[in-house]
Amino acid sequence: MFNDFVAERGRLYQAGFHREVSFAETSRRVLIEAKAPGGARPYLAEVSSAMLQQSVRDAEAGYRNFFASLSGTRKGPRIGRPRLKSKHQHTHRMRFARNAGFKVEDQSHQGHGFLTLPKIGRLPLVLSRPLPSAPSSVTVTAHADGTYEVSFVVEVEPRKALEPAHAAAGVDVGITSLAAVAYEDGTSHKIVNPRHLKARERKLARAQRKLSRCQKGSKNRQKTRTQVAKQHRKVRQARLDHHHKQARALVDNTHAIGLEELNVAGMIRNHRLAKALSDTGMSQFLRLIREKAEETGRTVVTVDQWFPSSQLCSECGCSGGKKGLGIRQWSCSCCGAVLDRDINAAVNVMIAAGLAEIENACGGSVRPAPVLAEPMKQEPAEQTPTLLGAV
């Protein structure tokens, strides 16, 4: 239905009908005429019309966002018009609104439940938690590894924000560590980067080699493809879980957070770092920090992506020349302070975000005390990835 709507809008545009094409007219052509007895797809009458209507609405929302982006009323980078989707290269979803007639039987106290969907029937569920209220919509997602995921839209009580232990913090994301965090009282720490893809790289490579030897179209190839997809999903879920826990701990602990506005897509074009950057998941981690901060009423201040946070001394502001990625610790040529590259960058982000003027309860400086020493260059030590347990 999505592709039919996009194709119909394209045909009408080529015929000279531009923005004046109404959603009702286009959806009537796509939905009603297609599944009519003499239409192009009469088998569509066998599935729920609510699911088809939601797919058409998704396509219409894509066009609205496209035109809003062209006119400048939509924030963020400019987006293109909706394009046709391949059934082999996209995650398949179906969504039902409340008026579609779905039913949820919540038996989470027994570890399971049931979902009844129109024209599909009663399906067993494994619920992760009790539903706090009656869902207004449900989305069923089919993953590449053959599993299905169900998500509900429900109303929840506003999250009560904890009293933060710190007034301000600067965050510098990276590869060696997921992030370095510097607080206004001079304390700091690093968040470990478990490198989930690297940890499963051998198993994934073995499954991919097996897949390449299978005959196309065979059942063994389909089974092996599912095994590869399962490995990818385990990596994705482990990374997301780690990011959620670390973002929640940071937001609950800090009132105001300074972040860098990074162009991660541009950074990945560096082929020497592309794999490590993708394994880190910087964009996802920064997005979760912003979302959780908005949810709990915290303040997030963004610093320009061209700010040289790793090149300036956080004690005196001196540059002292370019410092490559191999230099993880350096001594300032102006004041002599020995600085950790990542922690120093986090302090600079906090200063550039305007959060460094905040002092702690004892009136101490927000900057860590300098350590005077001779200029030195230290190569980064090998860091052993560790996985954090559940919190």
Q: Alpha-carbon distance 277 to 265, whole Å?
A: 10
DSSP single-letter state for residue 29: I
Tell me the three state secondary structure of residue 365: coil
Q: Alpha-carbon distance 190 to 171, whole Å?
A: 10
Cα 121 to its chain centre, rounded Å, is: 33
Task: Kindly give the residue spans of alpha helices, DSSP state H, lying in the chain.
Answer: 2-14, 23-27, 49-71, 196-199, 201-213, 219-253, 264-267, 274-280, 282-296, 341-352
Q: Alpha-carbon distance 179 to 175, whole Å?
A: 8
Could you count the other beta carbons within 10 Å of the beta carbon of residue 70? Answer: 13
How would DSSP label each residue in 116-136? EETTTEEEEE--SS--SS--S
Asked if 181 contacts 368 with a C-beta cutoff of 8 angstroms, the reply is no
- Indicate if 241 belongs to the active site: no
Q: Which of 172, 184, 279, 340 is catalytic?
A: 172
- Indicate if 260 belongs to the active site: yes
User: Tokens 């929302």, residue?
Assistant: 61
Q: Which of 8, 260, 279, 315 is catalytic?
A: 260
Retrieve residue 215's tokens. 């005959």
Q: Alpha-carbon distance 302 to 79, whole Å?
A: 22
- Indicate if 342 belongs to the active site: yes
Q: Alpha-carbon distance 267 to 180, whole Å?
A: 19
Q: Alpha-carbon distance 114 to 303, whole Å?
A: 47
Nearest Cα to Cα of residue 49 among 110, 7, 95: 95
Instruction: State the virtual CA torsion across 325, 280, 87, 212 in degrees, nearest 10.
Output: 80
Nearest Cα to Cα of residue 33 among 4, 9, 55: 4
Maximum pairwise Cα distance, the chain: 85
The sign of the torsion formed by the CA atoms of 61, 62, 64, 65 equals: positive
Residues carrying an active site annotation: 172, 260, 342
